[in-house]
Chains A and B, each alone.
Chain A
Amino acid sequence: MTALTTSARQDWLLEPALAPAVDGDAIRPLYDAAARGELALPFCADCELPLELEQQTCDGCGHAERLWRQVDPRGIVHAATMMHRREAGLVRATDPYVIVDVEMDSGHRIVMTTLTPTDATPRIGTAVRIGFRRLGDVAIPAVNLETE
């Protein structure tokens, strides 16, 4: 029972040493929302332009306040690659894994891997839905290829 619990918590891809340091992180609101199973992303508090994750001042209107807002966890594949190099000590997976640059319906672009292992690289333009992996104690957005 203990062994099963441990393995259920183990990420399929990476070692927990790669878990983000959430405390004090500029993108902590993303991790807090992810822990609740929600995807939150930053927008300009004034003109609502979608901002990059570490962007503070809006490039559209110059406003310097941002808001993190829950968004629809759907998007399309903007680019994708199959990663063959697996660094010992960092990568647990024994097969190549997929990395996807997802363009969210909200307008943001976020790099993710997949929720579960796959040997097929999704094509550019493929519609995807976002779920969450757990790496160490941190929930990380990931592409769920099976739901669309």
Chain B
Amino acid sequence: MSDRSSVAIVGMGMTPMSLTPGGTPLLLACQATAAALADAGIEHGDVDGLLVGSSQGVRPDRLGVGFAAQGGFGNLRLLEHIEIKGATTIAMLQRARDAIAMGEAATVACVFADAPLVAGKGSGSTYAHSGGNVGVRGLERASGLLGSVPTYALMTQRWLHVTGTPADALCAVATTARRWATGNPGAVYREPLDSDGYAASPMIAEPLRLLDCARPVNGAVAVVLSRRESVGATRLRILGTGRDHPVRRRRADAESWFGGGRRAVDDALAEAGVTRGDLDIAELYDPFSIVTLALLDEYRLTGDVPAGAFMLDGQAAPGGALPINTGGGQLSGFYLQGMTPLAEAVIQLRGAGGDRQVPDATVALVGGIGGRMDHHAALVLERAA
């Protein structure tokens, strides 16, 4: 059996994260891939494995395995489109690492591109119009559950009720994310935000305000994985990964909006041989403020302190016990699904975080969730000495 722990992220490329329509997934993917290859110091012909991720749903321009031809690749030994909703990014890295360890490919590029912003429509409107009119989703939409905000609002109301968490913990998540984002030139929201500014933001579905929700962008991120010491200027080793796909039932006698997923983190930490206390940063998938709270609680990342109190006490903020979503996350940074937390972990572990750099960040937890917190993926990354 080959050694998986020597596989490393050796290159990363990002497009600007755009709040305005423009750019197709293909164009964005080409830009990010070119930047990632340049970062690793290799060329298209050096890549023998390509994994492609795209937003779920049928879009005519969504990125697929056709990217091998469109993107200028040749002679690939590994080519797959991977789709497990918000867990896609980590699933791609797991697949790439295992393929390299097993000798299926030596140098694997993973690329994710999305362009949800289209001319003439706000992103909220785009999401409100999607979902169709069949099955359970059709019934929900016929009951006014339009877009994903009211879904997460129901989750929020239930979670706050069951855990006894005050609603101002949501505000603490949003303002903490913004504190980090003020130091991130790539974040879409960088102006300082206090609780008054949060309270002034429009209510969408109680208790979620506009600033409790992620900001979708058009953009792409690509990373290159290899275990050849000669490739790449910096090497971030993938020490461990884990997945959990809890199936909760919408039925009496158990919670159905949240619960399950911890095994993904437990398994990733166990494989990495590190504990929660060894983590320097945690980059989680945070499409809504409630998700940060629910995941901190589910993943047991705040010790004996309840997740809400941890956030309200500033322990996830700069200088706190566990810096979380250090680029502003998906709330203030940018929402590019699973690539948002991964990209920030790479930046931090490379020491390239500038004004938001966490001193001596060496070990990072990266999370990904999909669906209504139905799919959990975790990754432990370490800066190679």
Q: Assess whether B301 is interfacial by the CB under 8 Å rule.
A: no
Q: Assess whether B128 is interfacial by the CB under 8 Å rule.
A: yes
Q: Assess whether A82 is interfacial by the CB under 8 Å rule.
A: yes
Q: Assess whether B43 is interfacial by the CB under 8 Å rule.
A: no
Q: Which of A25, A110, A112, A135 lies in contact with B134, CB distance below 8 A?
A: A25
Chain A residues, Cβ within 8 Å of B72: none
Q: Is the CB of A112 within 8 A of B143?
A: yes
Q: Which of B125, B142, B158 lies in contact with A79, CB distance below 8 A?
A: B158
Q: Is the CB of A99 within 8 A of B205?
A: yes
Q: Is the CB of A87 within 8 A of B154?
A: no
Chain A residues, Cβ within 8 Å of B118: none
Q: Assess whether B139 is interfacial by the CB under 8 Å rule.
A: yes
Q: Is the CB of B155 within 8 A of A79?
A: yes
Q: Is the CB of B144 within 8 A of A99?
A: yes
Cα A47 to Cα B256 in complex, Å, equals 21
Q: Is the CB of A107 within 8 A of B154?
A: no
Q: Is the CB of A84 within 8 A of B133?
A: no
With A26-B135, A59-B247, A87-B146 as contacts: A111 and B140 at CB distance below 8 Å:
yes
Q: Is the CB of B250 within 8 A of A124?
A: no
Chain A residues, Cβ within 8 Å of B128: 85, 87, 90
When C-beta atoms are compared, the residue in chain A nearest to B209 turns out to be: A84
Q: Within residues 144 to 168 of chain B, which ones have a CB less than 8 A from any CB in chain A?
A: 144-147, 149-150, 153-158, 161
B7: shortest Cβ distance to chain A, in Å?
37
Cα A101 to Cα B158 in complex, Å, equals 10
Q: Is the CB of B133 within 8 A of A19?
A: yes
Q: Is the CB of B205 within 8 A of A85?
A: yes
With A19-B133, A20-B133, A103-B252 as contacts: A111 and B157 at CB distance below 8 Å:
no
Q: Which of B158, B202, B250 lies in contact with A108, CB distance below 8 A?
A: B250
Chain A residues, Cβ within 8 Å of B158: 78-79, 101, 124
Cα A90 to Cα B121 in complex, Å, equals 14
When C-beta atoms are compared, the residue in chain A nearest to B144 turns out to be: A113
Q: Within residues 68 to 82 of chain A, which ones have a CB less than 8 A from any CB in chain B?
A: 78-82
Cα A103 to Cα B142 in complex, Å, equals 18
Q: Assess whether A148 is interfacial by the CB under 8 Å rule.
A: no
Cα A140 to Cα B203 in complex, Å, equals 27
With A14-B142, A27-B139, A124-B157 as contacts: A109 and B129 at CB distance below 8 Å:
no
**What per-residue 1/0 map shows which CB atoms of A124-135 lie under 8 Å from chain B?**
100000000001
Q: Assess whether B141 is interfacial by the CB under 8 Å rule.
A: yes
Q: Assess whether B299 is interfacial by the CB under 8 Å rule.
A: no
Q: Within residues 58 to 107 of chain A, which ones have a CB less than 8 A from any CB in chain B?
A: 59, 78-85, 87-88, 90-91, 97, 99, 101, 103, 107
Q: Is the CB of B142 within 8 A of A19?
A: yes
A61: shortest Cβ distance to chain B, in Å?
14
B212: shortest Cβ distance to chain A, in Å?
12
For the complex, count residues of B whose C-beta is within 8 A of A. Answer: 41
Q: Assess whether B200 is interfacial by the CB under 8 Å rule.
A: no
With A21-B138, A109-B251, A124-B158 as contacts: A84 and B206 at CB distance below 8 Å:
yes
Cα A30 to Cα B251 in complex, Å, equals 17
Chain A residues, Cβ within 8 Å of B141: 18
Q: Is the CB of A138 within 8 A of B157?
A: no
Chain B residues, Cβ within 8 Å of A53: 135-136, 139
Q: Which of B138, B139, B161, B250 lies in contact with A109, CB distance below 8 A?
A: B250
Q: Is the CB of B154 within 8 A of A52?
A: no
Cα A101 to Cα B150 in complex, Å, equals 11
Q: Assess whether B257 is interfacial by the CB under 8 Å rule.
A: yes
Q: Is the CB of A107 within 8 A of B134?
A: no
Q: Assess whether A118 is interfacial by the CB under 8 Å rule.
A: no
With A18-B142, A21-B133, A81-B205 as contacts: A108 and B251 at CB distance below 8 Å:
yes
Q: Is the CB of A59 within 8 A of B136?
A: no
Q: Is the CB of B252 within 8 A of A99?
A: no
Q: Is the CB of B146 within 8 A of A81?
A: no
Q: Is the CB of B129 within 8 A of A81?
A: no
Q: Which of A78, A84, A140 lies in contact with B142, CB distance below 8 A?
A: A140
Chain B residues, Cβ within 8 Å of A50: 251-252
Chain B residues, Cβ within 8 Å of A99: 143-145, 150, 153-154, 205
Q: Assess whether B249 is interfacial by the CB under 8 Å rule.
A: yes
Chain A residues, Cβ within 8 Å of B253: 107
**A interface residues, Cβ below 8 angstroms from B:** 13-14, 18-21, 25-27, 30, 49-50, 52-54, 59, 78-85, 87-88, 90-91, 97, 99, 101, 103, 107-113, 121, 124, 135, 138, 140-142
Q: List 17 A-B contacts (CB under 8 A).
A: A14-B142, A18-B133, A52-B251, A59-B247, A79-B154, A81-B150, A81-B153, A81-B205, A81-B206, A84-B205, A84-B206, A87-B125, A99-B143, A99-B150, A113-B143, A113-B144, A124-B161
Q: A81-B150, A85-B149, A103-B252 are in contact. List 5 more A-B contacts (CB 8 A).
A: A50-B252, A81-B207, A82-B205, A85-B147, A111-B140
3 A-B pairs closest in CB distance: A81-B153, A87-B128, A109-B250
